[in-house]
Chains A and B, each alone.
Chain A
């Protein structure tokens, strides 16, 4: 007994369609916003890379970026959120 193939339901089938130019801007905006506020995360990631002359440069660039964003207070929201969540998780 065989059964003819029926296409499965697709999760995004009902979504609103956007043109590529708009999607590119959105993806860039996401990357920019995350990197502006996530200097600390970038540095932690860079420091976890295997030791290599290139990764040394990546670490130096990430440290510069973290210091620059820290000096204008952009790393504060993420740090604050982390502290508050740790406090919440520790309530017994």
Chain B
């Protein structure tokens, strides 16, 4: 069930009214939201609901044990819980990748052993709910959570449908207290929620889908059939497509959660206006970068020691790359980001004029996106080799140029642009804003290409 579909719209209407009807009975309300979240997840493959429930049970039990233990025993339980989470993630996501790499290595030595490939589809949202589970156990161990969650609260924390399949990644310490106390029915941030949902739908349906269908997909499918200008436009196009696609999902998720009375963290902050890669990672998928910082970079040692901090930075980005997918092109993507972050620290990127920093950072990020988007590392290098073939653009239309320039320009609008729009609309009664939003949703549907493409981050 995808956000920009009528099926989801009807589902959300039911959940919205039913959940607020239970506002005086928070436990029942939580139960309803859990049931709705499992229905939402089961739409993809009901069998994976057992995996979701199993992951929740594992981390809830681990949380109880961690809370009761102290000292070395506590650290051991945390280590086992994190390891079990990673085993589940690894089994579904990386097992076949490592076997395939092993088979390639053995093949180059002339050996062709029969290896036990699993060939299982990766459950949607697996990484996201695994991160939530790890966050829960570690937050208890660190004392960021005062007490373990009640089982029903834990079920909702892991499965809450707006964020279940593509984030933003919620910290246990941020979201569990919100679940435990009943949402305040007199404090619903409705206008901002509607604006985020509309903006998200527009970015996904109109911009991301159009760029994908008419520019990015055809060129990345056959990069050797295009010249330098088309390849350059496709790499710019993909940078804007993935931003519009992913930030759309999280904007819609934040808006839906707000209508249900919950607050999600900000996940994007105009990332392409970043003047360095370090700045970029403070603006892009902020909930993942802060998760990696707090649960990986700092436990590795963080900023301590000269060469160690570079090692930690590189390892964090490398694993961040591998998190996106079990393939070498993601590993290269992570390694490039790690190497550039180290280089920036060594040369002092912040000494450059800001505009130059923005231009360099954007182009480096675009270069990395080529590895991220390509089907495999070989295709990425084929794409890059194509820059030597100088030919004019053949795929760019005025409509695509307008979308690209518009979205690029939006990166430099004021940071409080949504709040400004909200203030400008303050004179309109909310019911009328709702009616306008309904018409706008229909208009967005009519403006996009036919069909509904899944969000890019569903794959991760």
Contacts and interface: CB of A to CB of B under 8 A. Distances in A.
Interface of A: 1-5, 7-20, 22-35, 37-38, 41-42, 45, 78, 81-82, 85, 88-89, 91-92
Given A17-B189, A34-B438, 12 more contacts: A13-B189, A18-B189, A22-B431, A25-B434, A26-B190, A26-B194, A27-B13, A31-B13, A33-B439, A34-B442, A41-B445, A91-B399
Interface stretch (B43-51, B224-232, B286-294): B286-294
Contact of B189 (A5, A16, A25): A16
Given A42-B6, A81-B446, A18 B190 contact: yes
A37 to B, nearest CB: 5
A3 B189 CA distance: 31
In the complex, the 10 A-B pairs of residues with the closest C-beta atoms, listed nearest first = A26-B434, A15-B189, A15-B192, A33-B438, A30-B438, A8-B265, A29-B434, A20-B185, A34-B438, A5-B144
Among A8, A26, A41, find the residue whose CB has the most chain B CB atoms closer than 10 A.
A26
Contacts of B57: none
B193 A12 contact: yes
B430 A20 contact: no
Classify chain B: how many residues form its interface, as a range.
35 or more
A80 to B, nearest CB: 9
Nearest to B177: A7
A6 to B, nearest CB: 9
20 contacts: A1-B301, A1-B302, A3-B294, A5-B142, A8-B265, A12-B263, A13-B189, A14-B192, A14-B416, A23-B188, A23-B190, A24-B17, A26-B431, A26-B433, A29-B431, A32-B438, A33-B434, A37-B439, A91-B398, A91-B399
Interface in B246-287: 251, 254-255, 258-259, 263-266, 286-287
Contacts of A29: 431-432, 434-435, 438
A91 B419 CA distance: 35
A27 B17 CA distance: 9
A25 B431 CA distance: 6
A33 B435 contact: yes
Contact of B430 (A2, A7, A18): A18
Among A15, A28, A32, A88, find the residue whose CB has the most chain B CB atoms closer than 10 A.
A15
B442 A37 contact: yes
B192 A12 contact: yes
Contacts of A34: 9, 438-439, 441-442
B64 interface: no
A54 to B, nearest CB: 14
A91 B214 CA distance: 12
A90 B124 CA distance: 35
